[in-house]
Amino acid sequence: MRISIDEHVCIGAGQCALTSPQVFTQDEDGFGAVLTGREDGAGDPLVKEAARACPVQAITVDG
């Protein structure tokens, strides 16, 4: 699994960090970010749920 966030699409809604806090966080400006070393999803079953929860589909989950 490989997770990425399109920073040009993200509006900083924070749903990803709320849904899967083991993988996602928000940067100092409030935009979504993948925690360092968790780009593979860290085995968290909530990653796909977090991608679905993003209101602007900024999160891509491959694999």
Query: Which residues in this chain contact ligand SF4 in the complex, by CB under 6 A?
Result: 5, 10-16, 31-32, 54, 56, 58-59
Q: Contacts by 46-50 with C-beta closer than 8 Å and gap 24+? A: 46/19, 46/20, 46/22, 47/1, 47/3, 47/20, 47/23, 49/19, 49/20, 50/15, 50/16, 50/19, 50/20, 50/23, 50/24
Nearest residue (CB) to ligand SF4, 18 versus 43: 18
Looking at beta carbons only, is 5 or 47 nearer to ligand SF4?
A: 5
Residue nearest to ligand SF4 as judged by C-beta position: 32
* Between 47 and 59, CB nearer to ligand SF4: 59
